[in-house]
Amino acid sequence: MPDSMTGFGRALADTSDGKLIAEIQAVNRKYLEVFVSLPREYGRFENEVRKWVTEQIGRGQVNARIYFVPNAKALEASLPDVDLLQNLKKGWEKLARQLGYEPSVVDFPFLIEHLPADTAFSFADDQELPVLHRCVDEALQLLLQMKRKEGQALAKDLLQRLQLLQNLASAIRSVAPEAAVRLQEKLKEKIEEALRQHHVDKELEERLFRETVQFAEKLDITEELTRLDSHFHQLQELLGPKAQSNGRKMDFLVQEIGREINTIGSKCSDLKISHKVVEMKSELEKIREQIQNIE
């Protein structure tokens, strides 16, 4: 059963330093695009998260956002060392005096703002990677469940529209022979009228009638209807319960179906067939729009 390209999954996981929250959202795109947003403490795991996503999803834009909420113990451990702050304060006050500033400018917010970057506490180490993997995978599974559920609804709608296209094609097939006969008779009448107004020999008259028949045969739509049946069958298989999601192939088949419908419309000037062609084009456009949502 085909999968939709849209979905959302959210999962939580406990770590020794707090909670991990993974939120993964997927929307429509022609190709696969993965965007990963991680907290600073988990930034080095971006390639792993991207790999986990691409192993599960083949098409669409995927936004994976990972949040970390530290617990009280981790927050306390992340506080800067008091001795470090005291040494920094003495150093900045000495520098302030040397530059002619009052030492009072070196207050607590100043010290926090000018803490060395390498003193920042990092919550995550390599032991947290399995926890991150489980959290991301759980969110991915929930996302995939939603994609499959929406895919089932899409497949049901598409199969109904495909059946309507097949019915319209069958209706065209049933009236096509009559339309061909009417076209031949109409052409014959026009030629006979022209012959009455202009004198031509017997040989030219027979040649005109032969070319009329050949022209009518060129307007035969049997081949187009046969190819349509083949495309309908392939599309129906791709929408079946045992088929894997393949939105690109469906999109290609829809293009081919549209090409055959346009050819039928250009060949046939019969009013009944023209009305059916218009209906088929309208329904095919709805199918085309729906297929853009399939992975």
The stretches of 198-270 forming alpha helices (DSSP H) are 202-218, 222-238, 247-267
Structural contact between residues 151 and 4, judged by C-beta atoms closer than 8 angstroms: yes
Q: Are residues 12 and 114 in the same domain?
A: no
Amino acid at 102: E
Output the pLDDT for position 202.
Answer: 64
Structural contact between residues 219 and 267, judged by C-beta atoms closer than 8 angstroms: yes
Q: Residue 65 is part of a domain; what is its CATH number?
A: 3.30.230
Q: Are residues 13 and 92 in the same domain?
A: no
Output the pLDDT for position 223.
Answer: 87
Instruction: Give the whole-angstrom CA distance, residue 1 versus residue 154.
Output: 10
Q: Are residues 95 and 66 in the same domain?
A: no
Amino acid at 227: R
φ, ψ of residue 4 to 5 degrees: the values are -75, 160
Output the pLDDT for position 78.
Answer: 66
Q: Are residues 108 and 194 in the same domain?
A: no
Structural contact between residues 135 and 20, judged by C-beta atoms closer than 8 angstroms: yes
Q: Are residues 186 and 260 in the same domain?
A: yes
Q: Are residues 201 and 247 in the same domain?
A: yes
Q: Are residues 87 and 12 in the same domain?
A: no
Spatial neighbors of 175 by CB under 8 A, at least 6 apart, are: 270, 272, 273
**CA angle at 247 for the pair 291 and 294, rounded to the nearest 5°:** 55
Output the pLDDT for position 121.
Answer: 46
Query: Is residue 272 domain-resident?
Result: yes
Q: Are residues 156 and 265 in the same domain?
A: yes
List the pLDDT tens digit at each of the 295 positions of the chain. Answer: 789 999 999 999 988 778 899 999 999 998 899 999 998 888 889 999 999 999 999 899 999 999 988 777 766 666 777 887 888 889 988 998 898 888 888 888 888 777 775 544 455 567 788 999 999 999 999 999 999 999 999 999 999 999 999 999 999 988 877 766 666 666 666 666 666 666 656 665 566 566 665 555 556 788 899 999 999 999 999 998 877 778 889 999 999 999 999 999 888 777 888 899 999 999 999 999 999 899 8
For residue 19, CA distances in Å to 12, 64, 65, 66, 68 come to: 7, 16, 14, 10, 6
Q: What is the DSSP string of 74-115?
A: HHHHTSPPHHHHHHHHHHHHHHHHHTT--GGG--HHHHHHT-
How many other C-beta atoms are found inside a 10 Å radius of the C-beta of residue 270?
19
Q: Based on the number of CB atoms within 10 Å of its own CB, is 79 exposed (0-12), middle (13-18) or buried (19 or more)?
A: exposed
Q: Are residues 192 and 93 in the same domain?
A: no
Instruction: Give the whole-angstrom CA distance, residue 98 versus residue 88.
Output: 15
Query: Is residue 125 domain-resident?
Result: no
User: What tokens appear for 12 in the block?
Assistant: 């939580």
Q: Measuring CA to CA, which residue among 204, 293, 191, 221 is closest to residue 250?
A: 293
Q: Measuring CA to CA, which residue among 95, 233, 85, 221 is closest to residue 159?
A: 233
Output the pLDDT for position 166.
Answer: 96
Q: Are residues 280 and 161 in the same domain?
A: yes
Instruction: Give the whole-angstrom CA distance, residue 31 versus residue 25.
Output: 15
Output the pLDDT for position 137.
Answer: 96
Q: Are residues 156 and 36 in the same domain?
A: no
User: What tokens appear for 64 in the block?
Assistant: 């994976």
What are the beta bridge partners of residue 19?
A: 14, 69
Q: Total structural domains in the chain?
A: 3
Q: Are residues 138 and 97 in the same domain?
A: no
Instruction: Give the whole-angstrom CA distance, residue 146 versus residue 195.
Output: 70
**Residue 89 sits in which domain range?**
79-119
Query: Is residue 26 domain-resident?
Result: yes
